[in-house]
Amino acid sequence: MKEYEREILLERIGRESATVGAEIPERIEVQGEEIDLRSFVFEIKRRDTVPAGERERVERAKKNLRRERLQRKQRIEEDEVNFEEGEALAAAVIGIDRALNALESLNPAGIETERDRQEAMDTKRWMNFLKQALGEESGSRLGGR
């Protein structure tokens, strides 16, 4: 591959807008393992938050995708491929970036939000219980005098 061709490919994958309109690859080999990447991302994205049981799986997938992205980019940089192979590698890098963007945009704070909501409900139930136990159901006894 010629130097200017390599620079074109590296510039393409380095662009902020590279993933706009790009599709997540249907299947991709990541760290020697074939993955149904599109279905995995859509399965996880269907939920508003990442369930606790899936969080480790998603983090592992993101880590492996980042590693695979770096390896494919390095193959372009090191000039071991011709331009056509480089274009395929660049397209795969952009698809990986698209998948990573989708996975990064998930709301991991959903569990914390749910925990906070549960704590607020528990506090409210506890306060209602105390009011009933102290006989303050229909207003404050302290301010009634």
pLDDT tens digits, one per residue of 91-120: 999 999 999 988 887 765 555 666 677 788
Asked whether residue 145 carries a pLDDT value surpassing 50, the answer given is no
Distance CA 28, CA 21 (A): 19
- Poorest-pLDDT segment among 7-11, 53-57, 71-75: 53-57
CB atoms within 10 A of CB 81: 17
20: amino acid identity, one letter: V
Q: What is the mean pLDDT of residues 64-69?
A: 92
Contact yes or no for 93/28 (Cβ under 8 A):
no
110: amino acid identity, one letter: G
Q: How far is CA 132 from the centre of its chain?
A: 46
Asked whether residue 142 carries a pLDDT value surpassing 60, the answer given is no
Which of the pair, 83 or 32, is modelled with greater confidence? 83
57: amino acid identity, one letter: R
pTM surpassing 0.85? no
